[in-house]
Structure 1
Amino acid sequence: MRVLIWILLILALAIGVSLLVGNNEGYVLIVRPPYRLELSLNLLLILVVLAFASLHLLLRFIHYARDLPANVRAYKENRRIRLGHASLLEALHALSQGRYQIAQKSASKALDLGEDPSLTALIAARASHKLKQKGQRDYYLAEAERLAPDAEVARLLLQAELLLDDRLYSQALDVLQQIEKIEHRFIPALRLELKVQLRLNNWEQVLVLLQQLEKHDGMESWQAREIRLQAHQHLIERHGHNLNTLMNYWKRVPAEDKLNTRIAKLAADAFIRLNAGNQAQEVLEMSLTREWDSELAAKLGDCASTNPQKQLQQAEHWLLSHEQDAKLLLALGKMCMRLELWGKAQSYLEASISVQPCAEAHLTLARLLDNRGETDAANRHYRLSVQACEDNK
């Protein structure tokens, strides 16, 4: 509709001008002795319009010529930015798809075009690392340091990750220490250091890092729990050859970890192997008081306490709440045997077998009967013990 209106206006203007020119018989006389120039008014108007248009075009051309270098530079700069951005996007897509050759080439092109060096150089370095081109990787890391000194943390973080991948753990720790100086308690750096310490089996440092990460919500709780259990397991095994060393370590274990069923079981086993029945009993009782576990209760029977009567009373107190716990009944049988309460021990062992027969219960009862001279009954339970072992294979 607007186009139609403009067409009509232009036509009306053209008609009006033609009518005006057709009826105009005036003229213009220009005298400059010795010259005399006579022009029709219509021609003069046309010449004036043409002169104005020519002057306007000339001025525009001069302005364009004057600004041409700046316009060319701006055009080239905009083109460079577009190409650099496109190359960067191509590099990111290729890297995410595992097309490392293309990622390296595109990132290198983006870097040459001046696209954000703190990103393009690191993409090229990662792609080069995946291509096993360590020389190129180190070159791009150096370029990132030269061209983007303000992005030092990102560069160091990638460098530590790549060193970890190359199993250069000491060098990775050195790089992570540099990050610590720049940004204290940086969560991604702590996660990387945790991986390094796990590879180095530095379990004490692993526990320290886990505490820091959990404090700042740096990792999932279930993942931290599993790593902590793994650390305690290795540390208990490491210190489990000397009672004093093991006890000193156990004192440093946080109370929350001591109450964990799996950690308590590992510690109790270690104390039992070192004939430290009191310590093992204390570990088990603390964990069982918080949360009942039949596997832990079974360990009570292996704790040679210096106060077996008190130990038996505590176990019998638990039996009131766990009457059908076969492993607790087995542990009670073993305790009674140490106290030479043969009849009571036999009753507990038979009750354990009636609830849940197992090889250990049959074997323990067979030994008790054998000591009491009941050979036939003892042999029968020996056979049942062997049969139970074969059934569990």
Structure 2
Amino acid sequence: MKWLLWLVGLFAAAVAVTMVAHNPGYVQFVFPPYKMEMSLTLFVFVLLAVFVLGYLLVRMTFVTLNLPEYVRSFREERAASKGRTAMMEALKAYFEGRFAAAEKAAVRAMELGENSGLNPIVAARAAHEQREFDKRDAYLVQAEGKSVGESTMRLMAKAEFLLDQKQPQSALNSLKELSDTGMHKHVGALGLELKAQQQARNWDAVLEVMTQLEKRNAIDKVVAVQMRQQAWLEKLGTQATDLPALRALWKAIPNDIKRRSKIATVAAQAFGRLGDCESAQHLLAESLNAQWDSELVTLFGECHSDNNIAQIEQAERWLNQHTDDAGLMLALGKLCMHQKLWGKAQSYLDASLSLKTSRAAFTALGQLAEKMGKQEHALAYFQKATQVQ
């Protein structure tokens, strides 16, 4: 199709040239006393030639006048292209783990006039990975005064660096500065805040940040449960200074967390230390009824009151379902011994040893023998307890 159009155009041009060549017309110029005549065909060709030459002359004049600006723009564009290339090299090297190369490429990009705030941030991160903290801080200073998005990158990077150096309060200050800029806390910032609050041991704040992350579905459920448990364990260990405080704290713990063995263990020990064995027994029974734990049930036999009959009855009900649990036998033996039921105590402790050899069972048997006046037996049991690994 294309060759056909060229053929038609060629024939049309040939016809036009033929018609012009046989045109009898002419053009006359009169400027007394002079007069000049030429054929119309020649006049048309001359006119076209003058027009073309004039156009070329004007174009050359404009190009000549704009040449310095063109050269300057060309150089700037070439430098910008080299800067972008260097920035991409820096990013590639950083994510490949070649931190020294990443830093050099980022610095080269800045020297070439690449003004993106990404370059000083990449250089700072690369320097941080190389433990060159003075250079890192200098790069962060270069990243100041940029756009909101680039300031966010700087503050996020600064917070990460401070957390790596175990400076949680300074990291929290950086995150607060990020919030003060009007930037809504995104998932990444919340994750850093969670880590900072954990390092600072601000457990109430940890629970609050965890709630925000869970609302955004930004944390694995299993991890969330473990972190919540750890926060409540720390609170039980540091804030349970007296019975009113401990009771208020225990009331605030969610029910699903209360029933977990580690939480119940620490809480029961805290209540026991403060002399509230009744609360300790109650929470242990609730936890064991929700989820059986052989290690936790041994603690049930540690906290005694003046009358342990109710405890013994509860433990014997569990025994109907857990007939081969050494920990339960040990707990029953201790409860019966405290209640001065020597025969039952001996039976339960012997049963515990038959299921599992333990230092605690031998020690309890030694204590029982002492109470019964059997000093030689007691000494033998205590010696066996020391031999258990």
TM-score calculated relative to the size of structure 1: 0.79
Q: Which amino acid aligns with 2:316?
A: E
Separation in structure 2 between the aligned mates of residue 116 and residue 224 of structure 1, nearest angstrom? 41
Matches within 5 A, 1:41-80: 41-61=40-60, 75=74, 78-79=77-78
1:117 — aligned with what? 116
1:193 — aligned with what? 193
Q: Deviations over 1:69-126 (max 9, x none)?
A: 7766765565455344323222211221233333333334444556463323322332
1:337 deviation in Å? Answer: 1.6
Q: Deviations over 1:278-324 (max 9, x none)?
A: 23212311211221211111211111134411111222222222223
Q: Which amino acid aligns with 1:361?
A: A
Q: Tell me the secondary structure at the aligned position of residue 93 of structure 1.
A: helix
Separation in structure 2 between the aligned mates of residue 309 and residue 91 of structure 1, nearest angstrom? 74
Q: Are 2:343 and 1:343 equivalent residues in the alignment? A: yes
Separation in structure 2 between the aligned mates of residue 364 and residue 66 of structure 1, nearest angstrom? 105
Separation in structure 2 between the aligned mates of residue 167 and residue 349 of structure 1, nearest angstrom? 49
Q: Tell me the secondary structure at the aligned position of residue 145 of structure 2.
A: helix
Q: Which moved more, 1:376-385 or 1:36-45?
A: 376-385
Asked if 2 retains the 8 angstrom alpha-carbon contact of 1:277 and 1:306, the reply is no
Q: Which amino acid aligns with 1:260?
A: R
1:239 deviation in Å? Answer: 5.6
Asked if 2 retains the 8 angstrom alpha-carbon contact of 1:87 and 1:110, the reply is yes
Asked if 2 retains the 8 angstrom alpha-carbon contact of 1:83 and 1:110, the reply is yes
Asked if 1 retains the 8 angstrom alpha-carbon contact of 2:240 and 2:249, the reply is no
Q: Which amino acid aligns with 2:318?
A: W
Q: Deviations over 1:168-203 (max 9, x none)?
A: 444323222323434465543333233233334444
Q: Are 2:310 and 1:310 equivalent residues in the alignment? A: yes
Q: Tell me the secondary structure at the aligned position of residue 39 of structure 1.
A: strand
Q: Which moved more, 1:139-148 or 1:87-96?
A: 139-148
Separation in structure 1 between the aligned mates of residue 325 and residue 169 of structure 2, nearest angstrom? 51
Separation in structure 1 between the aligned mates of residue 246 and residue 299 of structure 2, nearest angstrom? 18
- Taking structure 1 as reference, are residues 264 and 15 closer, same or farther at Cα in structure 2, changes over 3 Å only? same
Q: Which amino acid aligns with 2:146?
A: L
Separation in structure 2 between the aligned mates of residue 133 and residue 315 of structure 1, nearest angstrom? 61
1:64 deviation in Å? Answer: 5.2
1:252 deviation in Å? Answer: 4.5
Q: Which moved more, 1:203-212 or 1:279-288?
A: 203-212
Asked if 2 retains the 8 angstrom alpha-carbon contact of 1:81 and 1:115, the reply is yes
Q: Are 2:176 and 1:177 equivalent residues in the alignment? A: yes
Q: Which moved more, 1:67-76 or 1:184-193?
A: 67-76
2:223 — aligned with what? 223
Q: Which amino acid aligns with 1:339?
A: Q
- Taking structure 1 as reference, are residues 184 and 279 closer, same or farther at Cα in structure 2, changes over 3 Å only? farther
Q: Which moved more, 1:195-204 or 1:157-166?
A: 195-204
Matches within 5 A, 1:153-172: 153-172=152-171
Q: Tell me the secondary structure at the aligned position of residue 144 of structure 2.
A: helix
1:130 deviation in Å? Answer: 3.4
Q: Which moved more, 1:245-254 or 1:256-265?
A: 245-254
Q: Deviations over 1:222-254 (max 9, x none)?
A: 333333444444444446786666555545444
- Taking structure 1 as reference, are residues 240 and 38 closer, same or farther at Cα in structure 2, changes over 3 Å only? closer
Structure 1, unaligned runs of 5 or more? none
Matches within 5 A, 1:367-382: 367-368=367-368, 371-372=371-372
Q: Which amino acid aligns with 1:103?
A: A
Asked if 1 retains the 8 angstrom alpha-carbon contact of 2:163 and 2:196, the reply is yes
2:298 — aligned with what? 298
Number of residue pairs matched by the alignment: 388
Asked if 1 retains the 8 angstrom alpha-carbon contact of 2:169 and 2:200, the reply is no
TM-score calculated relative to the size of structure 2: 0.80
Separation in structure 1 between the aligned mates of residue 41 and residue 173 of structure 2, nearest angstrom? 90
Separation in structure 2 between the aligned mates of residue 101 and residue 383 of structure 1, nearest angstrom? 62
- Taking structure 1 as reference, are residues 255 and 307 closer, same or farther at Cα in structure 2, changes over 3 Å only? farther
1:145 deviation in Å? Answer: 2.2
Separation in structure 1 between the aligned mates of residue 35 and residue 190 of structure 2, nearest angstrom? 97
Separation in structure 2 between the aligned mates of residue 322 and residue 220 of structure 1, nearest angstrom? 34
2:11 — aligned with what? 12
Q: Are 2:37 and 1:38 equivalent residues in the alignment? A: yes
2:327 — aligned with what? 327
Separation in structure 2 between the aligned mates of residue 339 and residue 384 of structure 1, nearest angstrom? 25
Separation in structure 2 between the aligned mates of residue 256 and residue 116 of structure 1, nearest angstrom? 53
Asked if 2 retains the 8 angstrom alpha-carbon contact of 1:108 and 1:124, the reply is yes
- Taking structure 1 as reference, are residues 355 and 140 closer, same or farther at Cα in structure 2, changes over 3 Å only? closer
1:146 — aligned with what? 145
Q: Deviations over 1:337-361 (max 9, x none)?
A: 2222223333333443444444433
Q: Which amino acid aligns with 1:298?
A: T
Q: Tell me the secondary structure at the aligned position of residue 175 of structure 1.
A: helix
Q: Deviations over 1:26-76 (max 9, x none)?
A: 655444332232334443343233223224434544565677677667655
Asked if 1 retains the 8 angstrom alpha-carbon contact of 2:124 and 2:140, the reply is yes
Q: Which amino acid aligns with 1:302?
A: E
1:23 deviation in Å? Answer: 5.3
1:265 — aligned with what? 265
Structure 2, unaligned runs of 5 or more? none
Separation in structure 1 between the aligned mates of residue 52 and residue 184 of structure 2, nearest angstrom? 70
- Taking structure 1 as reference, are residues 41 and 244 closer, same or farther at Cα in structure 2, changes over 3 Å only? closer
1:360 — aligned with what? 360
